[in-house]
């Protein structure tokens, strides 16, 4: 019964990660986007912690803590600061309209289920069976990257891709080595800081953070 309860929670957190990534395509409000990202990071950290308890792995437990703090709190609060400083652009500017991108997201989820299903049937266990959800999160993240123009949406897309990769890694291998995961998390944190600086300097120089308008080089 206890193992069943743990599996339920694992499924619940994995489902939550995917649901959050779809909601980022749904909502236009950038603040809501950041809040959803925080929720996703928290769900990912909880999933890693569940796996750590299941395998009795201390290293994975530490990774879970790092993921929970970094993706659930630090990165979203940095992003929230970027959004707060720019009251002029509170809404995403989608290149593909919202209903079409939602239908696209549905198609991506089906594609990832069909393609990753083969992969997970090589080693069917309750955890690996959830891996298509991670792949779907990666694909939805890429879709967000190519279909949204604001700098903040692009950062969110990048983080979705990263969260998806982390989810697949946790589910398939029961956690990457501690050092690798720490390195990856730090990389992502660095990227967010760099993009924040970029967004801030873009705004101070051009008064907006619309990446499409960066067509030519200036001195």
Partner 1 sequence: MSPAASAAILAGAALKMRMPASLLQVAAIVVGGPLLVGLMAKCRARAEGRIGAPISQPLRDLRKLVRKERIHAEHSSAVLAVAPFVLVASATVAVAISPLVTTAPVLDGGADAFVVVYLLLMGSVALALGGLDPGTAFGGMGSSRAMTVGALAEPALLVAILALSIQAKTSNLPGIVKATLAHPGWLASPERLLALAALVVVVIAETGRIPVDNPSTHLELTMIHEAMVLEYAGPELALVTLGEAMRLGLLFGLVANLFFPWGIASSASLPQLSLAVVVLAAKAATIAVVIALIEVSTAKLRLFRIPELLAGGFVLAVLAVMTGLVTR
- Binding residues for partner 1, rule: CB under 8 A, are 4-5, 8-9, 11-12, 14-16, 18-19, 22-23, 26, 98-99, 102-103, 105-106, 109-110, 113, 129-130, 132-133, 136
Q: How far is the CB of 120 from partner 1 (least distance, A)?
A: 9
Question: 143 near 25, Cβ under 8 Å?
Answer: yes
| 105/192 with CB nearer partner 1 | 105
Question: 131 near 171, Cβ under 8 Å?
Answer: yes
What is the SS3 assignment for 94?
strand
Q: How far is the CB of 141 from partner 1 (least distance, A)?
A: 15
Given the structure tokens 């308008």, which residue do they identify? 213
Phi-psi region of 150 (alpha: psi -120 to 50; beta: other; left: phi over 0): beta
Question: 18 near 31, Cβ under 8 Å?
Answer: no
| 17/70 with CB nearer partner 1 | 17
Question: 34 near 114, Cβ under 8 Å?
Answer: no
Q: How far is the CB of 8 from partner 1 (least distance, A)?
A: 6
| 49/109 with CB nearer partner 1 | 109
| 18/63 with CB nearer partner 1 | 18
Q: How far is the CB of 156 from partner 1 (least distance, A)?
A: 17
């Amino acid at each position: 019964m206890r193992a069943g309860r743990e599996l339920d929670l694992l499924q619940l957190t994995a489902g939550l990660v995917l649901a959050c990534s779809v909601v980022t395509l749904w909502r236009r409000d950038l603040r809501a986007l950041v809040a959803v990202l925080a929720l996703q990071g928290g769900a990912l950290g909880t999933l890693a912690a569940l796996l750590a308890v299941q395998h009795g792995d201390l290293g994975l437990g530490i990774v879970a803590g790092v993921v929970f703090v970094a993706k659930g709190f630090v990165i979203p609060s940095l992003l929230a600061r970027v959004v707060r400083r720019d009251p002029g652009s509170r809404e995403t500017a989608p290149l593909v309209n919202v209903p079409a991108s939602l239908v696209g997201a549905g198609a991506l989820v089906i594609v990832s289920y069909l393609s990753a299903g083969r992969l997970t049937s090589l080693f069917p266990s309750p955890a690996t069976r959830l891996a298509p959800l991670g792949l779907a999160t990666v694909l939805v993240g890429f879709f967000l990257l190519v279909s949204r123009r604001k700098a903040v949406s692009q950062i969110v897309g990048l983080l979705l891709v990263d969260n998806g990769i982390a989810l697949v890694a946790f589910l398939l291998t029961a956690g990457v080595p501690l050092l690798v995961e720490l390195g990856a998390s730090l990389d992502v944190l660095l990227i967010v800081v760099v993009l924040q600086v970029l967004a801030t300097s873009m705004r101070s120089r051009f008064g907006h953070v619309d990446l499409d308008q960066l067509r030519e080089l200036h001195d």
